[in-house]
């Protein structure tokens, strides 16, 4: 089953994703998309918190840019793949340029559509605030929303996490739009 778990910062979405992975009982590949920059101590602390909270038995791949390629290699291997998180991955692509981000989004949607096995994608819901003032921020918000919509059509389960509580928006069906 392919799942998309959305939520705000510190909404509990990563914990919910990890709980769901544990329930499946298969070997796990955890794909971390964050990029460690030594000048960003706060981000380093966030990454360390995630490292400490996941089981040591999980295989971990750090994939800040080439996510579609990594998922394509893992499809059909009988492992559960957990990606945390899509918004950091999109940020990494957008920092290269808008075209790279949009190409990556298109490739990701294609790979998820063809993915065989258990796949859990975690991402930040960024569309509930005001429209940002800066062009770069608006580009990020708009494209993140588009990606979430495209993925939600493909996956069998979509959940929104608020205050550590997952609310299923879609469970079991595939919508064609």
Residue 160: CB partners within 8 Å, gap ≥ 6? 6, 7, 125, 166, 167, 169
Q: For residue 128, how many C-alpha atoms fall within 13 Å in the half-sphere facing its CB?
A: 8
What's the token pair of residue 112? 């998820």
For 91-144, the three-class secondary structure string (H helix, E strand, C coil) is HHHHCCCHHHHHHHHHHHHHHHHHCCCEEEEEEECCCCCCCCCCHHHHHHHHHH
- The Cα–Cα gap between 38 and 54 comes to 22
Q: One of 44, 47, 50, 132 is an active-site residue; which one?
A: 50
Burial 34-53 (b: 16+ CB within 10 A, else e): bbeeeeeeeeeeebeeeeee
**Residue 50 appears among annotated catalytic residues:** yes
What is the set of active-site residues? 50
């Amino acid at each position: 089953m392919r799942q998309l778990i959305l939520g705000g910062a510190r909404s509990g979405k990563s914990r919910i994703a990890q709980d769901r992975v544990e329930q499946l009982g298969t070997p796990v590949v955890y794909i971390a998309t964050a990029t460690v920059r030594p000048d960003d101590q706060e981000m380093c602390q966030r990454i360390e918190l995630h490292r400490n909270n996941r089981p040591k038995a999980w295989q971990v791949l750090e994939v800040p840019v080439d996510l579609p390629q990594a998922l394509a290699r893992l499809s059909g291997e009988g492992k559960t793949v957990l990606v945390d998180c899509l918004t950091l991955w999109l940020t990494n692509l957008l920092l290269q340029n808008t075209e790279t981000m949009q190409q990556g989004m298109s490739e990701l949607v294609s790979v998820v559509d063809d993915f065989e096995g258990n796949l859990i994608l975690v991402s930040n819901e960024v569309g509930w605030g005001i429209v940002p003032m800066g062009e770069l921020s608006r580009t990020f918000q708009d494209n993140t929303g588009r990606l979430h919509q495209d993925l939600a059509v493909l996956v069998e389960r979509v959940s929104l996490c608020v205050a550590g509580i997952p609310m299923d928006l879609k469970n079991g069906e595939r919508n064609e739009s």
